[in-house]
Structures are given as C-alpha cells and as structure tokens.
Structure 1
Amino acid sequence: MRLLQRAIRVCGLSLEVAVLLVDYHIRRNERARRSHTKTWLARHEGVKILRL
C-alpha cells in the first residue's frame, strides 16, 4: 500500500498506472525470490531444511 501511495504522490501517476507499476514490482520480486531459492538449494545440496 505504501508503494502505491508513494508512486501516486511522487511521480504524479494516475491510479491505473500506479497499480500497474506495483503489480510489476510484486511479480518481479516473486520471480527473484524463486530464483534465489532455486540457486541456494542447488548450492546447498543435502542440507536439511527445518520449518519453524
């Protein structure tokens, strides 16, 4: 929500464009998280992961 508010305020974007910008960043961060997880797991084969 803060990212959306800031995008509207700082850039003077319309609501539609600001929502598209936030959606882009959410998708990009999700892809990056999956990539980092995949890379970490490949480098740490055999490590047991304990869920807390």
Structure 2
Amino acid sequence: MSLSHKTKGSKRYEKARIRVAKFHAKLKDTRTDFLHKLSTEIIRENQTIVLEV
C-alpha cells in the first residue's frame, strides 16, 4: 500500500493518500490524548508546578 509506488493523479493514488492521511491523523490524536491525560494527572496530583529557567 505504499503511496510512493502509485502513479500521481490515479484513483488508487488518491485512495492510498487518504488511507495514509487517516493513519497519521489517528497517530496524532493518540499522542495528543496521551499527553492531555498525563498533564491532567500531574496537575491533579500536585497543587503547584514550578518551572525554573
């Protein structure tokens, strides 16, 4: 299902492009969800978070 092996502009290229885009969107959503849950857990456990620069 490699997109690079398809001919640009073909129907199969578009189907493969959409499949790859959906995969990347799901991966992004999974990572964002994990970070959101982690940051929420850290904030709920601690009263104050201090960053030193």
Shared fold, TM over 0.5: yes
Larger radius of gyration between Structure 1 and Structure 2: 2
Please report the TM-score for the alignment, with normalisation by the length of structure 1. 0.60
Bigger relative CO (Cα 8 Å, ≥ 6 apart): 1
Count residues with an aligned counterpart. 42
Over the matched positions of the two proteins, sequence identity in percent amounts to 2
Q: In 2, distance between residues paired with 1:51 and 1:20?
A: 39
**Gaps in structure 2 of 5+ consecutive residues:** 4-14
Please report the TM-score for the alignment, with normalisation by the length of structure 2. 0.59
**Gaps in structure 1 of 5+ consecutive residues:** 1-6
Runs of 4+ deviating beyond 2 Å: 48-52
RMSD: 2.5
